[in-house]
Amino acid sequence: MSWLWGNLNWVVFAPLIGAAVILRCPRTAVQRMQRIALVTTGLTLLLSLGLLTQFEAGEATLQLEQLRPWIPAVNIWYHLGIDGISLPLVLLTALLAFLACVGSLGITERVKEYFVLYLLLETGMLGTFVALDLFLFYIFWEVVLVPMYFLIGIWGGGRREYSAMKFFLYTLAGSLAMLLGILAVYLHTGSFDLIALRERAGADFPLGLQQVLFLAFFLAFAVKVPVFPFHTWLPDAHVDAPTPISVLLAGVLLKMGGYGFFRISYPLFPDGARWFVPAMAILALINILYGALVAMAQTDFKRLVAYSSVSHMGFVLLGLASLTETGLQGGLLQMVSHGLITGGMFFLVGVLYDRTHTRDLTAFGGLGAHLPLYAGLLTFFALASLGLPGLSGFVSEFLSLLGAFPTQQLITALAIVGIVLTAGYMLLMLQRVLLGPRNPRWHALPDMTRRELVTLVPLLLLIAFIGLYPWSVLRLQAASLAFLLRLVGGAS
Amino acid sequence: MIAGVGQDLRLLLPELLLTAWAFGLLGLGMSRALRHWTTPAGLVGCVVTGLVLWGLTAQASGDGVILGGMLAWDPVTRFFKWFSLGVLVFVLLLARGDRGVQEEERGEYLCLLTLVVVGMMLLAAAHHFVLVILAMELISMLSYLLVAFPRHDPRASEAALKYFLFGAFTSGILLYGISLLYAATHTLDLGALRQAMEAATGGQLTLVILGVTLVLVGIGFKISMVPLHLWTPDAYEGAPIPVAALLSVGPKAAGFALLVRFLTASVGSHQPVWLPLVGGLAVLTMTFGNLVALAQTNMKRLLAYSTIAQVGYLLIGVVAADRLGYASVWFYLVAYLLMNCGAFAVVSVMTTVTGQETLEAYRGLAQRAPGLAALFAIFLLSLAGIPPLAGFLGKFFLFGAALSAQLSWLAVAGIINSVIALYYYVNIIRLMYLQVPVEQTPIAWPWSLRAATALAAVGTLILGLAPSRLLHAISRSLPAL
């Protein structure tokens, strides 16, 4: 079974095969296409769990590699592999893609196109996390853009066309800067291979060039994360995307940016990274505080969650800026944790929106007594988001702060304010939605359906599990992050 | 040098064969009974010429100049002969689906199209200014005729007239430039020009500089380089679609071959002067093309400005002026041939079916004709440079060539332009996919256009995903430096 189990090719391209099968279905066979999509994403999830069983957690090297020449004339290789940095994100992606696929069963319009694009998107996302050749990485990175554009633009709401185009233009502008960076790396070293390049640890690049290259890659990743001031596409795209796509946007796409720092910027340009760290810390702080403050001012439920993402992703940046192992652990875990929590939050916003067709927080109230299941879940995810101890968000944010404190004391101290602000807007949101007098408009709202529970309960369990037993994930990451830290040469 | 006129003519066989075939098509078109066989006959001609060319290439007779130094027989010429044949295949397929041309005129139409391709082959091979002029005039004269081919369409006549006036003017400038170069160097041979130019001093040098500028103007007209692009949108809008497709790829590619030959073989030590100039014009060309394309509402005009922008990208490789630069120009030309002809094929279907050329006609196309819309989306995304399509890899090499030649500013200009261009390409996709169709009737399209789009789409994907073979072929088709 080794050709299937623990084979990265299948993990990445299984969704594409599913898409090809759906392409051959007649337009009207909605149920069949839904089933194929579910089976495909489910199988992909199983296959990615298979990676977990084959993975040696103590090793910092790349595992389960696939290596084939692709365009030998320019030394481009088809090179896949995972390590402790990518594995948690691959699992997160496969899980969210499956759950969001369950959530997509509510899509009734142009179903065929939807699932084809959806599965293409999944291939792009998974490929980004396992590609070890810069060129291949770029291809997967860009393959994500096109389906995402359509998914927001066709099935979204509000100003969907505007938001989809804005998303496309912003990310492409960032990616193209990265493309120049990739070309410059190749012209200096003759290689696109991330592993070979990382072993050189920036020895090929003088400091000035490292700084330029770091900035080129930074532009691409900063748009994706998003780092203030490149974040303005995010609220539009997240709000106007359909629910399952918002889940993937927040849960996976933002992580592609964070992952880029871990996989490319830090190991390839260590001097550039150290040079940039002070700026990174300040940007992290701005993200945390600015995101939280703006979230606090929102009356649109979805926009609030969108801005909370800006704030939460700030902790990833803070972890990166710490240059300590604890901080990097926290930053990477925060990506997983935020994916789970915010994914859940977007599902919950979608649940309410499906029933009321409004996201105006002032229009709700008193739903707590009326929808007990919903209230329970919303409370759980809101508490997870504000960093309640015992849940995953607490562990990751705490580790980020703990790791950053020795190297960035002032900024860490200020960042703690962000947690207070998060508690502020999350509790305010809970109060507006669940407590207070009941709006008579919503007297006949049904509670959660079984399908909605299926999408949320796995997330809930994982958040609690990671919160109680964070070593389960940290264990996977530890060796790779320690190796990364040695490359960058920060304090241990 | 290869000896013997007989041997020389043998190497000219592809051109001779195509010329004969063109007149054969003309004759075929006169016969009422055989008329509808013109397109298949033309395609057979392409195959036969291809076989002959293959045979000549395989024999690998030594490179050199033939017919007393008039024409070159070298890897570059062979590459462009293949390229021209590819253009001809697409143009024949497109012309088959063109309803604008009367059935009894089809033979004449295809004859002219084929002869333009012969002109392209000659221009790419020209090694002597006399032949440069002849080949260029052959292409130009036939192009004027082809643009004006729908005789009763006043738009076509207007376009042809504008094209002609502009073209005649730049031809004059080109001739004048060549005469100045001749006065300064006493030679018209591109091989001997370099030494003579490098030896030029004082008053001669002034003549050389003036001459080179004027020759560049002449070539710039052919490839639609800003500020010599003015004819392009009008000509495309008025011309029948197959002709617009041909003009957007064929003469441009031949122009690039000539430009590269002229710059490598002649300019020599003057490179530091000319290359930055051409680089500046490249930036102007792509920026102007893209910015104006943003405002277009007519699909043919939009594609015309998009062509201008693409020419700007291509010039980057010319300015890089090394193996990587030329290789990326060659690669991008092939990619451009595929994606642009594909796009024109789709426009041809839409214009025939809806009778409209506006962007509005594409509203909701994805629901009306999913296959057609998906193909168009592939071509547009490739033109925009989105991976894993051919256009992306082409840009990848072009920008790489710029960086490797220490021309970062050109690469950055290319990147900024790619973002601008994304908007208008994706805008068409937005209309097709994100909007509701005005009309629901499904769209029927002929086999020839299906074949053209399928060929182009498959090529666009293969070039993007598995370009190794083409890269290998290109690496053996570069000019000697």
- A23 interaction partners in chain B (CB closer than 8 Å): none
Nearest by CB: A73 against B392, B412, B468: B468
Looking up tokens 């020389």, which residue turns up?
Answer: B8
CA distance B446 to chain A (A): 23
Q: A75 touching B, CB under 8 A?
A: no
Query: What distance in Å separates the CA atoms of residue A245 and residue A253, rounded to the nearest whole number?
Result: 10
Task: Work out the pLDDT band at A382, boundaries 50, 70, 90.
Answer: very high
Residue A361 near residue A432 (C-beta atoms within 8 A):
yes
Cis, peptide link before residue B154, omega less than 30° from 0: no
Which of B365, B422, B470, B471 to mutate to probe the A interface, most A CBs <10 Å?
B422
**Closest to A78 (Cα-Cα) out of A91, A61, A65:** A65
Residue B22 near residue B118 (C-beta atoms within 8 A):
yes
Cβ-Cβ contacts under 8 Å for A364 (sequence gap 6 or more): A352, A356, A432, A433, A439, A442
Q: Is residue B481 part of a domain?
A: no
Q: What is the pLDDT of residues A41-64, one digit of tens each?
A: 999 999 999 999 989 888 888 999
Q: What is the pLDDT of residues A159-207, one digit of tens each?
A: 999 999 999 999 999 999 999 999 999 999 999 999 999 888 777 889 9
Average pLDDT over residues B179-193: 89
Residue B398 near residue B316 (C-beta atoms within 8 A):
yes
Q: B471 touching A, CB under 8 A?
A: yes
Phi, psi of A300, deg, nearest 5:
-90, 125
pLDDT at A444: 79
Under an 8 A CB cutoff, do A180 and B415 touch?
yes
Give the residues across from B73 on adjacent strands: B64
Q: A77 touching B, CB under 8 A?
A: no
Average pLDDT over residues B230-259: 93
Q: What is the pLDDT of residues B291-305, one digit of tens each?
A: 999 999 999 999 999
Helix, strand, coil percentages in chain A from 3-state DSSP, rounded to 5: 75, 5, 20
**Closest to A404 (Cα-Cα) out of A485, A488, A315, A344:** A315
Nearest by CB: B403 against A139, A177, A180: A180
Phi, psi of A77, deg, nearest 5:
-120, 150
Q: B374 touching A, CB under 8 A?
A: no
Most confident residue range from B189-203, B300-314, B356-370 = B300-314
Under an 8 A CB cutoff, do A180 and B399 touch?
yes
Task: Work out the pLDDT band at B268, boundaries 50, 70, 90.
Answer: low
pLDDT at A440: 82
What does pLDDT average to over chain B?
A: 91
**What distance, in Å, lies between the first and last C-alpha atoms of chain B?**
19
The interface predicted TM-score of the complex, written ipTM, equals 0.93
Q: B366 touching A, CB under 8 A?
A: yes
CA distance A221 to chain B (A): 17
pLDDT at B1: 45
SS3 assignment for chain B: CCCCHHHHHHHCHHHHHHHHHHHHHHHHHHCCCCHHHHHHHHHHHHHHHHHHHHHHHHHCCCCEEECCCCEEECHHHHHHHHHHHHHHHHHHHHHHCCCCCCHHHHHHHHHHHHHHHHHHHHHHHECEHHHHHHHHHHHHHHHHHHHCCCCCCHHHHHHHHHHHHHHHHHHHHHHHHHHHHHHHHCCCEHHHHHHHHHHCCHHHHHHHHHHHHHHHHHHHHHCCCCCCCCHHHHHHHHCCHHHHHHHHHHHHHHHHHHHHHHHHHHHHHHHHHHHHHHHHHHHHHHHHHHHHHHCCCEHHHHHHHHHHHHHHHHHHHHHHCCHHHHHHHHHHHHHHHHHHHHHHHHHHHHHHHHCCCEHHHHCCHHHHCHHHHHHHHHHHHHHHCCCCCHHHHHHHHHHHHHHHCCCHHHHHHHHHHHHHHHHHHHHHHHHHHHCCCCCCCCCCCCHHHHHHHHHHHHHHHHHHHCCHHHHHHHHCCCCCC
- A168 interaction partners in chain B (CB closer than 8 Å): 422, 426
pLDDT at A490: 56
Looking up tokens 């430096």, which residue turns up?
Answer: B481
CA distance B320 to chain A (A): 14
Query: What distance in Å separates the CA atoms of residue B366 and residue B218, rounded to the nearest whole number?
Result: 42
What does pLDDT average to over chain A?
A: 93
Q: What is the pLDDT of residues A259-269, one digit of tens each?
A: 999 999 999 99
Q: A–B: how many Cβ contacts below 8 A?
A: 71
- B413 interaction partners in chain A (CB closer than 8 Å): none
- A187 interaction partners in chain B (CB closer than 8 Å): 400, 403-404
pLDDT at A492: 42
Which of B396, B409, B463, B470 to mutate to probe the A interface, most A CBs <10 Å?
B396
Q: A209 touching B, CB under 8 A?
A: no
> For residues B142, B148, B149 and B153, what is the CA-based torsion angle, rounded to 10 degrees?
180
Nearest residue on chain B to A164, alpha-carbon basis: B430
Under an 8 A CB cutoff, do B434 and A183 touch?
no
Nearest residue on chain B to A160, alpha-carbon basis: B434
Query: What distance in Å separates the CA atoms of residue A79 and residue A84, rounded to the nearest whole number?
Result: 17
* SS3 state of residue A68: strand
Instruction: Give the up-direction half-sphere exposure of residue A451: CA atoms within 13 A in the CB hemisphere.
Output: 12
Query: What distance in Å separates the CA atoms of residue B299 and residue B359, rounded to the nearest whole number?
Result: 6
Residue B471 near residue A73 (C-beta atoms within 8 A):
yes
Does position A491 have pLDDT exceeding 60, yes or no? no
- Residue A357's Cβ-count burial label (10 Å; 0-12, 13-18, 19+) is exposed
Q: Is residue B133 part of a domain?
A: yes
Under an 8 A CB cutoff, do A183 and B411 touch?
yes
Query: What distance in Å separates the CA atoms of residue B457 and residue B382, rounded to the nearest whole number?
Result: 10
Could you tell me how many residues make up chain B? 481
Nearest residue on chain B to A166, alpha-carbon basis: B423
A363: its two tokens: 């229009």
Domains of chain B: total: 1
Q: What is the pLDDT of residues B123-151, one digit of tens each?
A: 999 999 999 999 999 999 999 999 999 88
Q: Which of residues 388-447 of B touch A (CB under 8 A)?
A: 388, 392, 396, 399-400, 403-404, 408, 411-412, 415, 418-419, 422-423, 426-427, 430, 433-434
- A176 interaction partners in chain B (CB closer than 8 Å): 415, 418-419
Cβ-Cβ contacts under 8 Å for B167 (sequence gap 6 or more): B140, B143, B144, B221, B231
Q: B468 touching A, CB under 8 A?
A: yes
Residue A322 near residue A230 (C-beta atoms within 8 A):
no
Amino acid at B342: G
Under an 8 A CB cutoff, do B426 and A168 touch?
yes
Cis, peptide link before residue B388, omega less than 30° from 0: yes
Average pLDDT over residues A316-320: 96
Does position B2 have pLDDT exceeding 50, yes or no? no
Query: What distance in Å separates the CA atoms of residue A463 and residue A345, rounded to the nearest whole number?
Result: 12
Greatest alpha-carbon span in chain B: 71
Nearest by CB: A173 against B396, B419, B468: B419
> For residues B46, B51, B53 and B54, what is the CA-based torsion angle, rounded to 10 degrees?
140
pLDDT at A158: 87
pLDDT at B3: 55
Phi, psi of B405, deg, nearest 5:
-95, 20
Give the residues across from B126 on adjacent strands: B71
What are the distances in angstroms from CA A356 to CA A102, A419, A439?
A: 21, 30, 12
Q: Is residue B415 part of a domain?
A: yes
Residue A301 near residue A330 (C-beta atoms within 8 A):
no
Domain region containing B258: 5-475
Amino acid at B245: A
Residue B464 near residue B387 (C-beta atoms within 8 A):
yes
**Closest to B434 (Cα-Cα) out of A154, A147, A156:** A154
Does position B60 have pLDDT exceeding 70, yes or no? no
CA distance A138 to chain B (A): 8
- B430 interaction partners in chain A (CB closer than 8 Å): 153, 161, 164-165
Q: Which of residues 3-22 of A touch B (CB under 8 A)?
A: none
Residue A36 near residue A22 (C-beta atoms within 8 A):
yes
Which of A134, A180, A185, A191 to mutate to probe the B interface, most B CBs <10 Å?
A180
**Closest to B241 (Cα-Cα) out of B380, B101, B116:** B101
Chain centre to alpha carbon of residue B146: 16
- B378 interaction partners in chain A (CB closer than 8 Å): none
Task: Work out the pLDDT band at A241, boundaries 50, 70, 90.
Answer: very high
Query: What distance in Å separates the CA atoms of residue B75 and residue B235, rounded to the nearest whole number?
Result: 32
Q: Is residue B480 part of a domain?
A: no
Does position B444 have pLDDT exceeding 90, yes or no? no
* Angle between the N-to-C axes of helices A134-143 and A111-130, in degrees from 0 to 180, rounded to the nearest 10: 160
